[in-house]
Structure 1
């Protein structure tokens, strides 16, 4: 978690004598509901003019997380500065979609403060892609709350309520705004009739915000007659600014402007999103510190969210480097809240132990902190001095924490007190030294190399933690003992260094070759479900891509699967190099001496048996070739490693009855141990397995998302006297430092 201090309170018109006079005047005239809302809308420059409930000091972000099971539900997050957010309720839903919707799923939540300053409206798309795919969805959910914690709801099925819209097959992304002329709340959303383009429609809510009381009317359509969706209307300087997404060839975020809330919008011929990626779900909110506006949007194919900032709602600058989130949102909205509301939300959905889950000390593996009620256990690196450990906790500023600074954790848990107002809680914090994971952060599919040139070990993992494995950069790490790893930085960036693919940077492998008195490194990697190769004179790069895929075809006889997960192997017998790959099938081929080509007719399909899924790795020991592979899906807790043996680097592969190399350890809550590589200590019959697992302990609650929140671990690999492999029990302690000499 990263919390930033807010600026000191600024002067607000709402605090002035003039404002108080106006408030009393119109209150006495009993005209506050209409005229005051309009006046404050012009003077406070607010997207939704409201009675002032007090200075806004924080932000509430409401969002959903994706299209898989359990994702299409409303979640909340908080921020103190509009840039750095923490998820409430451990990123679990704050409302059950099964209870509030007709489909079992909701998307695209929009939240609004009512004119009275203390009532809140939320609307969402009634849609469940995980269950119904993208089939017709024709309803929206309307919700109302007096406190942001307790919500009532109602479902509005458009074709059922309005027979003239019987041919509607899409009702998407509803939002709400107050119409000061009619003194009513206007809902607007994108809707498609038959095979026509999506257009923006509007209707007015009833007094109780449980239904629509007017027939939908067209509000706006794309000037190019293509679809337009995801509208967000912001009132500023006497005009209504409608941000929307165009579809088709001109897809992107644009803006239309009108002096009236429900008609007359004129589109500006200008894209406002600051990326070439596919985007949707534009959301605009004003910063509390008077530093302008934020336009954010869902970069959905990349699994990212982009924030841009503007002073005039027209010229936007990317500010992603200022943004942090401990969750992956999809299409949501942000609303300013008061300190009292901020505290109320924390009290309702932020477990007190989480206050001490954000340790920033580099020796603390923050992803592995265990919170159980009022007990917190920190996972720290093996050589941490527990007698003088300062966790460097960061937490919401409405809390106070004692004691501060370094504490002695060597004798057991340390007692901290956390206070918010008059509520004081005692929390016990312990610290345990673990060797696994060996890298701090989310990484997966580790390939390991011992460099004869550098006399070091190098790890080459997938950079993980991105929705649907959408990472785009590769890093490497170096070590002299397999326990302490140094981040050597990015060695290949798809966006900058690769011309033929820009997404899905997965599962690399590397080999060191000696040419005369020098060394050359060949780095095989997955990008866009194809395999490429890049080379360098150093194990830490920079690497130069070949310029086109090395593998973008299926072997003869293979109809399914993916061309991913390369593994390179130097055969000590023949001195030839071999390359293996495949998801759903295992393929192998001998590389030419240039290391960047091979005879396609020589490719062999080596799939050992039905347990093979992906992640081939090959070693040679005492005359035997060992083939390793992963079984099941990386999103499954049952993901595991198996092996077979052969007399040749190109098979056939013999599969023993008992051939599991490593699998889950439920005693220690270690799940999904797979996609391995193997390293031999030079000159010794000493072997180690490098693999990834679900992040621990959060992975168990993540569902499928645990499959892209993985961590790299190392444990000892042992062989029995007959050459079979002794099953590895994955550990938290990991290994002792390895001495090379």
Structure 2
């Protein structure tokens, strides 16, 4: 009996010791992750769109070392493109997890360039957001749709999403504008849901409703350390009645979902959301890396000039905001987006991937239509003459994604996007890193089927099929006649 009791005591001590080791190991892992996340910030990354041009409603990135002077990444071309929903995105927000081990970009699913009217977009538009996910800030998942506004009665859209980590609940508050009827008034209000993974969301709840006919479309919240100015969180919102009488409203709170105190607006700086002359929208917070001041960037949509910055060392009083001169936004117009402070490691990764100069690539000339070249158009691949812009027909012919003996075709103006076959049709897609993608995007060059001085490209995973055009559209097919051999023959030219 005593021996059994002793054995139990030993077992208990050992179990307690092992439990302590497990807790210590877990604490060390979490501490290491948080330490990495708290590395000093040395740069800034801006995610934005540029406007209603053909490619303007996609994800663009810019980098800065001082927060005021910006360099367009990827030679000014989009970094991420939407292939879901409307196939266009606006108002991107970039989010980092507290441990710095995961990132998300969320954006409005909207493409005005497709011919959609603003009335249709607001009343009969997409009720989904577009989401990308990454573990390193440079390799991003395929875009996915999340129907955040599907649970809102009469919802006409889901615009201008933002997200902030809520330490009170250890998850993220995602908030956006939806135009819908409520209490007899149809207008844009700010709604929110909570999520821990940007896949599953709670039912939407009203976040901001100014009352009456006053709508709110754009809102962004920033957390400040040490409750500078008296509060932990500050938010800026674009309020207005059909853009005829509105303001950039500044509010403060000590909790993301708590009560908010109205601190005022920016009319003392002649800045408002009134009318379309000099009106601003899309408020975008940016803590300066010196830790002692904040920028509030405002999108001058009324004049089309893009963002302008204000600066404040104390957000607790709107009179502390001052206009800033001596800033540069780079070549691209910067429209409604968000800014992420970067560690040195994050800056290095971003600049290594997209900061390099993108030299002109090579073209693939058709053998039997020698005035036509392989190009991408709206993410389809075809042959066309007189390609505009020229970079749509320029490719980097790189070692095949599956390895030795094959090649892959990477787009010059959409780095990370490759020609790949899908149901035998050739499309341009961003690599998702999967073995299926690598195989679909790899080809074995062989002597040209129509002329041995040219080249044909055999599919890696369907070796009985070759890259060819049919009705000017590229696909992979078995080749059995002279027409097919000519269609499947190309030449690499500068």
- TM value normalised by structure 1: 0.40
**Unpaired segments ≥5 residues, structure 1:** 1-26, 41-48, 354-370, 375-665, 671-700, 702-741
Q: CA deviation at 1:251?
A: 1.6
Report the counterpart of residue 144 of structure 1 in structure 2. Answer: 133
Distance 1:109 1:319 in 2: 24
1:229 has 2:217 as partner: yes
Residue among 159, 177, 186 paired with 1:196:
186
Distance 1:270 1:59, change over 3 A: same
Match in the other structure for 2:489:
none
CA contact under 8 A between 2:179 and 2:189: conserved in structure 1?
yes
Q: Secondary structure at the match of 1:250?
A: coil
Which position in structure 1 is the counterpart of 2:198?
209
2:297 aligned counterpart, secondary structure:
strand
Residues 267 and 30 (structure 1), Cα distance of their counterparts in 2 relative to 1, 3 Å cut: farther
2:106 to 123, 126, 133: 123
Structure number with higher relative contact order (C-alpha < 8 Å, ≥ 6 residues apart): 2
Question: Residues 227 and 87 from structure 1, CA distance in 2 versus in 1: closer, same or farther, beyond 3 angstroms?
Answer: same
Task: Report the secondary structure of 1:288's partner residue.
Answer: coil
Runs (4+) of structure 1 moved beyond 6 Å? Answer: 31-34
SS at match of 2:345: helix
Cα distance, 1:373 vs structure 2: 6.9
Aligned to 1:300: 301
Which residue in the other structure is 2:169 paired with?
Answer: 182
Query: Structure 1 residues 189-198 or 335-344, which shifts more?
Result: 189-198
The aligned length equals 319
- Report the equivalent of 1:281: 282
**Shift, 1:225, TM fit:** 4.5
Asked if structure 2 preserves the Cα contact closer than 8 Å seen for 1:245 and 1:251, the reply is: yes
CA offset digits 1:494-549 (Å, max 9, x no partner): xxxxxxxxxxxxxxxxxxxxxxxxxxxxxxxxxxxxxxxxxxxxxxxxxxxxxxxx
Q: Quote the offset at 1:113 in angstroms.
A: 1.3
* Corresponding residue of 2:348: 343
Q: Compute the displacement of 1:53 (Å).
A: 4.4
Tell me the CA shift for residue 166 of structure 1.
3.7
Alpha-carbon spacing, 1:123–1:159, altered in 2? closer, same or farther (3 Å): closer
User: Which secondary structure does the structure 2 equivalent of 1:230 belong to?
Assistant: strand
Q: Does 1:133 align with 2:117?
A: yes
The answer (yes or no) to whether the contact 1:231–1:243 under 8 Å persists in 2 is yes
How large is the RMSD of aligned CA atoms in angstroms?
Answer: 3.2
Whole-Å Cα distance in 2 between the matches of residues 193 and 31 of structure 1?
A: 46
Query: Structure 2: which 5+ residue stretches go unaligned?
Result: 1-22, 273-277, 363-385, 391-412, 414-494
Superimposed CA distance per residue, residues 329-386 of structure 1 (whole angstroms, 9 cap, x where no aligned partner): 1101111112221121122112346xxxxxxxxxxxxxxxxx5479xxxxxxxxxxxx
| Separation in 2, partners of 1:260, 1:117 | 22
Which residue of 2 is the match for residue 320 of structure 1? Answer: 325
Q: For residues 246 and 63 of structure 1, what CA distance do their matches in structure 2 show? A: 21
Within 2, Cα distance between the matches of 1:50 and 1:175? 25
Q: 1:347 to 1:202 in 2, by over 3 A?
A: same
Matched, 1:243 2:236: yes
Q: Is the 8 A contact 2:149 2:204 kept in 1?
A: no
Post-superposition offset of 1:172 = 1.0
- Equivalent residues in 2 for 1:185-584 (5 A)? 185-194=172-181, 196-205=186-195, 207-212=196-201, 214-222=202-210, 225-236=213-224, 237=227, 238-248=231-241, 249-271=244-266, 275=271, 277-304=278-305, 305-313=307-315, 314=318, 315-352=320-357, 371-372=359-360
Match of 1:73 in 2: 58
Between the aligned partners of 2:155 and 2:258, the Cα distance in structure 1 is 22
The aligned residue for residue 362 of structure 1 is none
Equivalents in 1 of 2:238, 2:259: separation in Å?
Answer: 18
- Give the Cα separation in 2 of the matches to 1:288 and 1:267: 27
In the alignment, what sits opposite 1:623? none
CA contact (8 A) 2:92 2:336 kept: yes
In the alignment, the residues of structure 1 paired with residue 27 and residue 117 of structure 2 have an alpha-carbon distance, to the nearest angstrom, of: 48
Counterpart position of 1:158: 148
SS where residue 340 of structure 2 aligns?
Answer: strand
- Alpha-carbon spacing, 1:180–1:326, altered in 2? closer, same or farther (3 Å): same
Larger Rg: 1
Aligned residue for 1:203, secondary structure, equals: strand
Shift of 1:149: 1.2
Report deviation, 1:323: 3.0
Deviation at residue 302 of structure 1 after TM alignment: 1.3
For 1:122 and 1:320, the matched residues in 2 are separated by 29
SS of 1:327's equivalent? Answer: coil
Query: For 1:33 and 1:178, how far apart are their aligned partners in 2?
Result: 20
TM-score, normalised via structure 2 length: 0.59
SS at match of 1:346: helix
| 2:160 equivalent in structure 1 | 173
Partner of 1:192: helix, strand, or coil? strand
Q: CA offsets per residue over residues 261-309 of structure 1, 9 Å max, x none?
A: 1131232332376536111100001111234001001101212211111
| 1:172 to 1:123, Cα distance in 2 relative to 1, 3 A | same
Q: Secondary structure at the match of 1:342?
A: helix
2 CA distance for matches of 1:105 and 1:200?
22
Residue of 39, 60, 70 corresponding to 2:45: 60
**CA shift digits 1:196-253 (9 cap, x unpaired):** 1211111111x432231x1011112225640012111112214221110011243221
Q: Secondary structure at the residue paired with 1:97? A: coil
Is residue 61–residue 79 contact of structure 2 (8 Å, CA) maintained in 1?
Answer: yes
User: In structure 1, what is the equivalent of residue 96 of structure 2?
Assistant: 113
